[in-house]
Amino acid sequence: MLRPSDSSVPPATGGSLPADLPLLDRRGFLTTSGAAAIAALLTTACGGGDGGGPTDAGAPDNNALPTGVTRDGTTLRVDIERVATLRPTNGFVIVGSPATVIVNLGNDQFRAFTARCPHAGCLVSSVSNRRIVCNCHGSTFDADNGAVLVGPALSGLRAFPVAFASETRVLTVNAT
Ligand code: FES
């Protein structure tokens, strides 16, 4: 749901540098490139991209909720009609802090669980056939109750209480 904002990136300017662009001295360059390398190492060490360990790829930005989702303390209010990925059966969205996966089971049945896989802390990745999958190591959970169906996870996803108001089509999730 969350994508990096491109709004802060200035458009390409045909090869000339803006006069107010800050220039890095040698120390600034080393600091900047060192930070980038550390970030790259951490990404590799944490399994980013190789499916080998925890990753926050696609992790929700706690300060930015997707359109149609608001928060009041630990309560999430989800306007189903405004969250495109949640409208179809087996649709889902991951939002907020704590990271919460909300799943549409069809027939106005919704569930919400912690989105952190209990195996090694990755965010769950996909939902199909009423199953929530963590792509890091393949753990699979029942989207109805969060129970683990396939390991290596040894325990299920913790469920959060939900209430759906069919007249307003707003789902309330108590993500505590
Ligand atoms: S973190 Fe290993 S299966 Fe989810």
* Model pLDDT for residues 53-86, shown as the tens digit of each residue: 444 444 444 457 888 999 888 899 999 999 999 9
For a mutational test of ligand 1's pocket, the pick from 50, 55, 114, 119, i.e. the residue with the most ligand atoms closer than 8 A to its C-beta, is 119
Class of domain 69-174 as given by CATH: mainly beta
Residue 130: CB within 6 Å of ligand 1? no
Write the residue with the smallest CA distance to atom 1 of ligand 1. Answer: 120
Which pLDDT does position 158 carry in this prediction? 96
Where exactly are the structural domains of the chain? 23-50, 69-174
Give the residues of the chain that fall short of pLDDT 70. Answer: 1-63
Residue 148: CB within 6 Å of ligand 1? no
Statement: the pTM of the whole predicted model exceeds 0.75: no
Which pLDDT does position 62 carry in this prediction? 47
For a mutational test of ligand 1's pocket, the pick from 136, 140, 141, 155, i.e. the residue with the most ligand atoms closer than 8 A to its C-beta, is 136
CB within 8 Å of 112: residues ≥ 6 apart: 76, 100, 101, 102, 103, 159, 160, 161, 162, 173, 175
57 φ/ψ sector (left φ>0, alpha ψ -120 to 50, else beta): beta
Name residue, tokens 């896989």: 117
State in Å: Cα 140 to ligand 1 middle: 9
In the sheet that 140-142 helps form, which strands lie side by side, from edge to edge?
Answer: 126-128, 131-133, 140-142, 148-150
In the sheet that 109-114 helps form, which strands lie side by side, from edge to edge?
Answer: 92-95, 100-106, 109-114, 159-160
